[in-house]
Chains A and B, each alone.
Chain A
Amino acid sequence: MSIVIDKNICKSCGRCLSVCPGSLIKKDTENKAFIKYPKDCWGCTSCIKECPFDAISFYLGADIGGMGSKMTVKQRDHYLDWNIEKTDGTVETIVIDKKESNKY
């Protein structure tokens, strides 16, 4: 369970560093964010919701059945667009309306 931060997209704003409930994200020598303790990630996805530049994606470890897909999320008004990109390049999108309650 962990995340990948795309160094080329990261703008060094530091928002992911402060929001991580484990403080696991730090800055490297180029001032870019990186996950220093990938095995310590809880998988809460707070950082990917926080990043304004969609630089962070989330994946399942192979030990829990991960197949290499990457999950990102985009904030749009009161919507969260969750995108899951599979290894074959196809993307599945699920839109969550934050104003709507869970059905269950």
Chain B
Amino acid sequence: MEIKRKERLETDILIIGGGTAGCYAALTIAVESPECSVIIAEKANIKRSGCLAAGVNAINAYIVEGRKPEDYVDYANKDADGIVREDLLLTMSEGLNRVTAKMENLGLVILKDENGKYVARGNRNIKINGENIKPIMADAVKKLSNVTVINQVNITDYIIENNEIAGAYGFSIEEDNTDGNLSGVAYEIRAKKVLCATGGASGLYKPNNPGFSRHKMWYPPFNTGAGYAMGINAGAEMTTFEMRFIALRCKDTIAPTGTIAQGVGAKQVNALGENYEGKYGITTSQRVYGTVKENLEGRGPCYLRTEGISEAQDDSLKKAYLNMAPSQTLKWIESGKNPSEQNVEIEGTEPYVVGGHTASGYWVDTNRETTLHGLYAAGDVAGGCPQKYVTGAMVEGEIAAKAMVAAIQSENKTLSEKSADEFDKKVAEYDAILQNTTATYSIEQLEEAMQKVMDTYAGGIGNHYQFNESQLALAEEKILKIQELAENVKAEDMHELMFAYELKERLTVCLTLIAHLRARKETRWHSFAENLDYPEKSDEWLKYVNTKKENGKIEVIFRDLVKRGETYEHSNR
């Protein structure tokens, strides 16, 4: 197969990734500046793409009555043990209720009490029916006349000219069949400003279920770190990759545990029935760490204690899971035992890099502009702002959208000249993979090799999330070798060409992750970054670990913490 058609498109703003943040950015641009043209380049289809495919159980980031945005900043700061950007957290927190109101206007069902007020679930959450939250957003986006959605286009590289973003290259994952022969279509999309909203990275480590159900994982298996990789390769500064995210989930189905824990007040217990929550602490990483430790010390498996809940609670749980993780409801029914009759076994997932939960991602200024001029980042791909979840990703999309519109209006610039040469070079690179006849290893084999290396040497499940410097050095050495092999893979069709790029993206993310894990010489977050050479935390490490790839080498940059009330601007990019 080869690429036969080359599409050249122009737009004011290109949004890469039509998930939560990307769609909300498009909705914002339509209000702020309806004359501004927008292209959303989406790898799948915006109707169900991204994190919200199956739905979401609750709005987990909301300022409930009696609380203020600063309280949310305090919570996220504490959970991340200080390594956060308070400027980003505060601007995010201030918008949470605004975007929630907009989603309700668009049709999201939110539970209200008799006085018309949202019903809180704990201190920061409100109850919703989130099964159709993504179709609601997608429908609203499709109605916008200034926005063109191009589904099933996989973006692989930024176009950078004169130290500024000028657009992106990619290809359609569907073949063109116009002349009776299947062929590929490549895209060059030129834009004045670009928003990267591609999500985080899954599939770096060997997963919980490595066989047939390998994609039954916490995070979308289709979020492969494309945005991180494109940024890393273009020399963007990244932050805090070492704060990996590991979710505590229901065993096998990898379904959420929070709904059970908060919904019916189920505590974490070991095989002896002892509640071990108090022993290790209750931050996100401590909950995972406690479960690992209990297992290591012979008191596993661990559970959420649901035995003894009422029949009505059983029913409510089964319904709640159908609205976000249907496999768990199916599992309860198949096992013939309701949660009231059997505690729910829990386990930690493989580690992910995901800026919506931890602080990993692009190093951005307060307006969410990255260190590449004109490139913005929002949602899971943007760093410094953990615990943003769904509504926080929307706010970031909104902040970035407003900043892009303002910049376009003030700069009044025209699109740069097209460079046919560069596009042709990119197409030749795609064609080389499509027509390769010398590949020894399949893409799948190399992906498995990568996941095994990360599992063994960079703190995966198999190593109880722990690592030391010798192991990380080996991880780097081995990933570099797999990266060489990945330069010689073959794709039979356009979908497989996407697989080839997903593998390359993940390898790029792995190397940056390893560099970050090596650079932070302390253990600030158990399990998330458990460095056995430096098992304690130290105040000396109250700083950001950032990296930037220059001339093929990953350079580490340490930066001072940005405090609340400060506005951060890039000064040395």
Residues of A near any B CB (own CB < 8 A): 1-2, 18-23, 26, 36, 38-46, 58-67, 69, 71, 80, 82, 84, 86, 92, 94, 96, 98-104
Contacts and interface: CB of A to CB of B under 8 A. Distances in A.
Interface string B290-323: 0000000000000000000000000011111011
B111 interface: yes
Interface of B: 43-45, 47-50, 53-54, 57-58, 109-111, 119, 121, 127-132, 151-152, 173-174, 209, 211-217, 220-222, 252-253, 259-260, 262-264, 316-320, 322-323, 326-327, 329-331, 333-335, 495
B331 A65 contact: yes
A19 B262 CA distance: 32
B47 A43 contact: no
Given A61-B216, A98-B109, A40 B44 contact: no
B132 A98 contact: yes
A92 B319 CA distance: 13
Contacts of B129: 98-102
B263 A103 contact: yes
Residue from B48, B127, B331, B333 having most chain A Cβ neighbours under 10 A: B48
B334 to A, nearest CB: 4
Contacts, number: 171
Contact of A40 (B47, B57, B221, B335): B221
Contact of B53 (A44, A60, A61, A80): A44
B215 A40 contact: yes
6 contacts: A23-B174, A23-B495, A39-B215, A44-B54, A46-B47, A103-B320
A41 B326 CA distance: 13
Given A65-B335, A99-B129, A103-B127, A21 B44 contact: yes
A65 B334 contact: yes
Contacts of A99: 109, 129
B110 A104 contact: no
Instruction: Say what secondary structure dominates the interface of chain A.
Output: loop
Nearest to B112: A101
A46 B121 CA distance: 27
The 9 closest A-B pairs by CB, nearest first: A104-B263, A101-B111, A44-B53, A64-B252, A61-B213, A1-B216, A103-B316, A46-B48, A44-B54
A102 B57 contact: yes
Contacts of A71: 326, 330
A64 B208 CA distance: 10
Given A44-B48, A103-B127, A86 B326 contact: no
Contacts of A84: 330, 333-334
Contact of B211 (A21, A63, A69): A63
A18 B149 CA distance: 13
A92 B330 CA distance: 10
Contacts of B323: 96, 102
